[in-house]
């Protein structure tokens, strides 16, 4: 099959592209605008494969999308292109509205136009897979509650509101126009090739540099952590096996408090990187509590029983095994890290994480 992956140079998107190229015989067209978080170096392992190609394209560009659909003739579309960092959405929401809402609309329309013209046999097997987040559900009050596929939407941030909007658009295009769609909502991803603005890579790299390890508020926020390669396997299963119109929650069964994640990284670094920066006796000494972000959700947790029951998917990595692999990867891939840390990125981090005075 021909699989069009939007956002394939991003963290999750690149894992999906690598998974498909390395484990199937399908062809992949990676469509990515290459914003600050898009990194083609994450795809070096597949870049020269004859079944892989790349197009630097903005999903808001309808003319370019129409041309790509006609030339590539996709059998499946996996839509991962999105602005995804909550903190950035708070300080600059416009990009999130344009990419996540307008971009999804343009992609849906380009897909609908292409799909309507297909012969019936191709039409019947075509799928549009929209990849979303558990943050559309807001947060959970009780310690035992879990997000299910029928949990009402209650987004808290500009980011999650924009993703909720895109989810609604996809479902509307299915109901109104008959577009064959499937949707997934995932928990927090982590693993190799993660852009260092997110919690786990930020903590690893700051610790290795002897910098403060910023923890929002009291660090008691709870997240369900999903190893990115487990997620890539799940997404491929959904797009190739799920029934049209279905939604699946994908989680790692790994609920952790943010502060415990930070301490676990410090413990691993004590073992794997014992030669600390000058002046640092213990990595945990670098933990610095900073002012909490506005509207910070307290707890996310996913009930992933539906995807296990319907499609037989379960995560292979526990949080302990996945985190060890992740820390090890960052220790072994210093060139990737150096290349990704641009001046603009470091300036933004300085502005974002100011220790509470």
Q: Is 338 a catalytic site residue?
A: no
134, 139, 197, 229: the catalytic one is 134
Catalytic, 230? Answer no
Strand ordering across the sheet containing 127-133: 52-56, 27-32, 2-6, 76-79, 127-133, 181-186, 247-250
**Which is catalytic among the residues 135, 197, 229, 317?**
135
Which residues are registered as beta bridge partners of 27?
A: 2
Catalytic residue among 52, 114, 137, 159: 159
Largest alpha-carbon pair distance within the chain? 68
User: Is 271 a known active-site residue?
Assistant: no
The residues annotated with a catalytic role in the active site are 134-135, 159
């Amino acid at each position: 099959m021909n699989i069009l992956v939007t956002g394939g140079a991003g963290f999750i998107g690149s894992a999906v592209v690598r998974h498909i190229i390395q484990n199937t015989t399908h062809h992949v067209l990676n469509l990515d605008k290459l914003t600050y978080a898009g990194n083609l170096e994450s795809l070096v392992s597949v870049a020269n494969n004859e079944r892989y190609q790349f197009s630097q394209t903005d999903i808001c560009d309808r003319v370019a999308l129409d041309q790509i659909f006609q030339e590539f003739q996709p059998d499946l579309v996996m839509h991962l292109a999105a602005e995804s960092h909550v903190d950035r959405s708070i300080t600059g929401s416009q990009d999130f509205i344009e990419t996540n809402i307008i971009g999804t609309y343009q992609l849906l329309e380009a897909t609908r136009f292409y799909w309507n013209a297909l012969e019936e046999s191709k039409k019947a097997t075509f799928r549009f897979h929209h990849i979303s987040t558990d943050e559309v559900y807001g947060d959970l009050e009780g310690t035992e509650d879990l997000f299910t596929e029928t949990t009402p939407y209650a987004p808290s941030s500009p980011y999650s509101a924009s993703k909720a909007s895109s989810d609604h658009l996809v479902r509307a295009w299915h109901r109104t126009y008959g577009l064959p769609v499937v949707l997934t909502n995932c928990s927090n991803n982590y693993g190799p090739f993660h852009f260092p603005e997110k919690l786990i890579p930020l903590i690893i790299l700051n610790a290795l540099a002897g910098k403060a390890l910023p923890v929002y508020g009291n660090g008691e926020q709870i997240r369900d952590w999903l190893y990115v390669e487990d997620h890539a396997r799940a997404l491929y299963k959904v797009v190739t096996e799920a029934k049209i119109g279905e939604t699946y929650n994908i989680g790692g069964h790994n609920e952790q408090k943010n502060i415990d994640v930070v301490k676990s990284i410090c413990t691993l670094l004590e073992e794997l990187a014992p030669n600390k920066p000058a002046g640092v006796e213990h990595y945990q000494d670098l933990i610095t509590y900073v002012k909490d972000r506005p509207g910070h959700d307290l707890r996310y947790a996913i009930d992933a029983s539906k995807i296990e029951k319907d499609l037989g998917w379960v995560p292979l990595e526990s949080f302990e095994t996945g985190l060890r692999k992740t820390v090890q990867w960052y220790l072994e891939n210093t060139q990737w890290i150096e290349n990704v840390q641009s001046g603009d990125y470091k300036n933004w981090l300085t502005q974002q994480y100011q220790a509470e005075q």
